[in-house]
Structure 1
Amino acid sequence: MTGSTLKPAVELAKTNTTRFPNESAEYRRARQALLIEEIELRRHIERVAALRRALPPGGEVTKAYAFIGEAGRASLADLFGNKQTLIIYSYMFGPQRETLCPMCTSFMGTWEAKLPDVEQRVAFVFVARSPIARLIEAKAARGWTRHKIYSDTSGDYTRDYVSRDDADLPAYNVFTLRDGTIRHFWAGEMGRGTADPGQDPRGATDVDPLWTILDTTPEGRGTDWYPRLSY
């Protein structure tokens, strides 16, 4: 559906009959105005997703990347399994780190429960720079059972698709496998340089529902709170 065929958001908002006990007229006016913006936001999210899907073919992967998983060595093609699309989340747990990154852990802890749903359509694996034995130990300590974890022992993949300097950084990359050819499709490219003033660097849309949930509250995300490994 194209933008020209959609009803104006203000008209859709007028169909809303939701009311709550003891709300003031001031509240309802402000809430209706917010509803218009929420409708526009939903539409913008759809437009961005459509633009993403319409990207031209990305760069062909020509290097033979090798990973070590819980079952042994694996190539990039192996990580696809029987799917045509592969998501690789590179998490911050390099050899120099004593513990997992709390923010990466928050993401991965949330995704643990959703992996069976995600994997109906695409492959989703997790890569870090530490040796596989260390990754397995950390996975068990968190009680994760569904993550497919791999060690980028050589760092070749990390330097090409995460950090040229092999820094311990997170990354979200999507690859496709079509007609025997692997291509890079999309990656999160929003970071500190693209953040607005006073804003913690983040992508759009958020892949961790933690932040989306907090956005619905009067406290919001805050500016000085982050997830912890334990509470």
Structure 2
Amino acid sequence: MSSQPLIPASELASRNPVRMPNESAEYRRARNALLAEEIELRRHIERVAALRRALPPGGEVRGDYRFEGVNGPVDLAGLFGDKQTLVVYSYMFGPQRERPCPMCTSLLSAWDGEARDIEQNVALAVVARSPLAKLLAFKKERGWQHLPLYTDLNGDFSRDYHAIADDGSDIPAFNVFTRRDGTTRLFWAGEMGDESSDPGQDPRGAPDLMPLWTVLDSTPEGRRATWYPSLDYPG
């Protein structure tokens, strides 16, 4: 973040030249007040990102984790490729599931279009516990082109990095690893869940990884409490 002092958000909002067709004075007052809050939210996101980047070194990766991708078996170090940072999403598509989690699938459908952009900066891997053939069959069905899918061959990675519940079912997990000076460490992981959720809300992280919710949050309906993505829709 810049070290320059920030202009108060309310002052920045007051400079907003945008006026919409046929808006009322009441709307404009409320909209500029909301704009000030949106500016504060943007600033808070930046502060949180700076705190994340300033974390001390995380735990060293010591497990003998084994995966299988389209190019054959690979260990965690191999998932980095030529990058120093690796983003791993644990996909809820374990052996107990005939079909994958619709919420994870919605997220990954959006990421498929971003995967090549992400990989210009960091390595990306989507890990699940189902056999690779099953993952690749669904990838083809879904029309995904760019997501790098891997099966966790023995489940050790999923178990150690909190992608398996006590009853053996799947949990979505988002982990970021770094490789510096020959040492692989956890940099950061999403840790929001049931214990940290607010009343009336599903557990979710912040910022939300799903573009779907970002779009719906800008509508009057918002996130409907009883609606979730589906794998298929009629028509």
- TM-score, with structure 1 as normaliser: 0.97
CA shift digits 1:151-194 (9 cap, x unpaired): 11211001100236343111000000111110001111111111
The CA distance in 2 between the partners of 1:29 and 1:161, in whole Å, is 47
Q: Which residue of 2 aligns with 1:34?
A: 34
Asked if the contact 1:91–1:127 (Cα under 8 Å) also holds between the matched residues in 2, the reply is: yes
- Give TM-score scaled by structure 2 length: 0.95
Letter of the 1:7 partner, please give it. I
Deviations 1:24-81 (A, max 9, x none): 1111111011011000000000000000011000000012211111221100000000
Question: Within 5 Å, which residues of 2 pair with 1:54-93?
Answer: 54-93=54-93
Distance 1:183 1:204 in 2: 22
SS at match of 2:153: coil
Quote the offset at 1:129 in angstroms.
Answer: 0.6
Q: Larger deviation: 130-139 or 30-39?
A: 130-139
Partner of 2:173: 171
Instruction: Determine the structure 2 residue equivalent to 1:213.
Output: 215
Counterpart of 2:77, as a letter, is A
Q: Is the 8 A contact 2:125 2:150 kept in 1?
A: yes
Equivalent residue, structure 1, for 2:188: 186
- Distance across 2 between alignment mates of 1:102 and 1:179: 39
Detail structure 1 runs of 4+ shifted over 6 Å in the superposition: none
Q: 2:206 aligns with which of 204, 209, 215?
A: 204
Structure 2 residues without counterparts, runs of 5 or longer: none
Contact 2:176 2:187 in 1 (8 A): yes
What is the alpha-carbon root mean square deviation over aligned residues? Answer: 1.3
2:43 match: 43
1:5 aligns to what SS in structure 2?
A: coil
Question: Alpha-carbon deviation of 1:14?
Answer: 1.1
How far apart are the structure 2 equivalents of 1:164 and 1:91? 13
Indicate if the aligned counterparts of 2:10 and 2:36 stay in contact, CA closer than 8 A. yes
- Report if the CA contact (8 A) 1:127-1:150 is conserved: yes
Give secondary structure in 1 for the equivalent of 2:88.
Answer: strand
Q: Which amino acid aligns with 1:130?
A: S
Whether contact under 8 Å (2:102, 2:231) holds in the other structure is yes
Which residue does 1:20 correspond to in 2?
20
- Maintained 8 Å contact 2:89/2:172: yes
Structure 2 Cα separation of the partners of residues 117 and 182 of structure 1 = 23
Alpha-carbon distance in 2 for matches of 1:146, 1:53: 27
C-alpha distance in 2 between matches for 1:90 and 1:227: 18
Given that residues 158 and 164 in structure 1 are in contact (C-alpha distance below 8 angstroms), is that contact kept between their aligned partners in structure 2? Answer: no
How far apart are the structure 2 equivalents of 1:37 and 1:6? 14
Could you tell me how far apart the structure 2 residues matched to 1:95 and 1:40 are? Answer: 44
Alignment partner of 1:88: what SS? strand
Runs (5+) with no aligned partner, structure 1 = none
Relative distance call for 1:30 and 1:3 in structure 2 (3 A) is farther
